[in-house]
Structure 1
Amino acid sequence: MKCIIVDDEPLALDLLEDNLSRIPFITNVGRCKNAFEAIQAIHEHQPDLIFLDIQMPGLDGMSFVKSLSQPPLIVFVTAHKQYSLESYDLNALDYLVKPVSFERFFKACNKAQEWHQLRKRVTTAELVSGEENAKADFMMVHIDYSLVKVSFKEILFVEGLKDYVKIFLQNAPKPLVTRMNLKAVEEALPSPDFSRIHRSYIVALDKIDALRKNALVIKGHELPLGESFRERVDNYFKLK
């Protein structure tokens, strides 16, 4: 597993390098003193993980992560506690507050290794087309600081909310909320078991309890049925 370290303080970089030298499963491939050097290191080394300071001259750590279209795993290492909530919004793997003990650092590294291995195992479930994904029966979603396995058969419907989705499950008191767009969810779900019924909704077709002119019902939830998606639903039930 490859990582780079990013901090504007040389002593902080030295400490990260020293700690990483004691971690056998992570190889440090880049030492960067600002976000611009980090961008170059990402292009050159394609790291799996970044240990990243937040307050840096030029481009701060938060803005740097936002600028990445497909960021690696991110562990923030900072002297400031107040950015932890924002780090959650950026799907950071962990948030370490300086000074960081080796025990706490090692815990973050273990978590990164687990995520890295899990990502390799579930890439197919997350990224392949619906047709290919029929071979899998689950997908992994990012909830808080964990990857959560979601079985397709448990999904009732998915609601898109800009950059987030709500995944409604059978026998769950409340939906799972994760930072993901609806198109990515649609590509991960197997077809024809799931279908978009509206620009904001994807449903499990076998979970539909009632079908109306401009809506359908799943477990008491009435969902809008867009005219352009009606034919897909009708074809599934052979109601044309």
Structure 2
Amino acid sequence: MIKCIAIDDEFLALEIIENYVSKCPFLELVATFASPLEALSVLNGTGCDLLLLDINMPQVNGLDFLSAIANPPLAVLTTAYPQFALAGFEADVVDYLVKPFSFERFLKAVQKVQSRLAPVQVSGPEYLFIRSAHRMIRVDLDDILLLEGKKDYVAVHTPAQVIDTLTTLTAFQDKLPGKDFVRVHRSFIVALSKITAIERNIIYIGEMKVPIGDLFREELLRRIG
């Protein structure tokens, strides 16, 4: 769970951010503030992982505030002024959202944060036990080709079988080593080592075809270099 704080002097902007965060199961909105100075106690106390920060505010400029924090969290700037973009990236912010921004654009930004915060796995389990009906089936991670999210369950594809399990794709993603698997669509996670080809919007894993979602394309391209 990524804990985040939103700072914006516009009430409507904070409402929009609250709405967007509520749609992301991996985000927790700790607090919202109309002034950066009001947020100091939280940032210096319990802290947060992500700061959703406006730039042009009455009391203090958002970028100046960010540079003044001793141990700043990852930051995504939310502003109506695109001319601050270069300064924002020089401050090593994760992303820069120009108002008004859509939920899809917001999701893309916070997924970048999610990637940065993902722990580096030196070693991990080589298998999972997957509940299917009344059985617990052991599946070696190296045998998993892809995972397909259905309405009420996830289909785990291996060369030998397809295992259906009552869970969500997001919940399953948390169990998989991030270095070996990547989400490429709202309904698909694939094993990087099993990709045989990529053509336009399609990933080939042997004879199987998996679509690439627009929101996931950038992360996929980054992962495959």
| Residue in structure 2 matched with residue 99 of structure 1 by the alignment | 100
Measured after TM superposition, the shift of residue 44 of structure 1 is 3.1
Q: Could you give the per-residue CA deviations for residues 173-211 of structure 1, whole angstroms, max 9, x where no partner exists? A: xxxxxxxxxxxxxxxxxxxxxxxxxxxxxxxxxxxxxxx
Residue identity matched to 1:19:
Y
Structure 2: 5+ residue stretches without partners: 122-225
Measured after TM superposition, the shift of residue 43 of structure 1 is 2.1
Measured after TM superposition, the shift of residue 59 of structure 1 is 1.0
Q: Is the counterpart of residue 116 in structure 1 residue 121 in structure 2?
A: no
CA contact (8 A) 1:29 1:45 kept: no
Give aligned pairs, total: 120
Q: Is the counterpart of residue 46 in structure 1 residue 47 in structure 2?
A: yes
Measured after TM superposition, the shift of residue 69 of structure 1 is 2.1
Measured after TM superposition, the shift of residue 38 of structure 1 is 1.7
Measured after TM superposition, the shift of residue 121 of structure 1 is 2.6
Residue identity matched to 1:36:
L
Q: Could you give the per-residue CA deviations for residues 155-174 of structure 1, whole angstroms, max 9, x where no partner exists? A: xxxxxxxxxxxxxxxxxxxx
TM-score, normalising length: structure 1: 0.49
Does the residue aligned with 2:4 lie in a helix, a strand or coil? strand
Residue identity matched to 1:79:
A
Q: Which structure 2 residues correspond to residues 175-214 of structure 1 after superposition, within 5 A?
A: none
| Residue in structure 2 matched with residue 160 of structure 1 by the alignment | none
CA contact (8 A) 1:5 1:13 kept: yes
Identity %: 40
Does the residue aligned with 1:63 lie in a helix, a strand or coil? helix
| Residue in structure 1 matched with residue 141 of structure 2 by the alignment | none
Measured after TM superposition, the shift of residue 75 of structure 1 is 0.1
Structure label with greater radius of gyration: 1
Distance 1:40 1:30 in 2: 11
| Residue in structure 2 matched with residue 79 of structure 1 by the alignment | 80
- Decide which structure has greater helix share: 1
Does the residue aligned with 1:45 lie in a helix, a strand or coil? coil
Distance 1:97 1:103 in 2: 13
Q: Could you give the per-residue CA deviations for residues 28-51 of structure 1, whole angstroms, max 9, x where no partner exists? A: 001111110121221233100000
| Residue in structure 2 matched with residue 63 of structure 1 by the alignment | 64
RMSD: 1.2
Structure 1: 5+ residue stretches without partners: 123-240
Residue identity matched to 1:109:
V
Measured after TM superposition, the shift of residue 109 of structure 1 is 1.1
Distance 2:102 2:39 in 1: 24
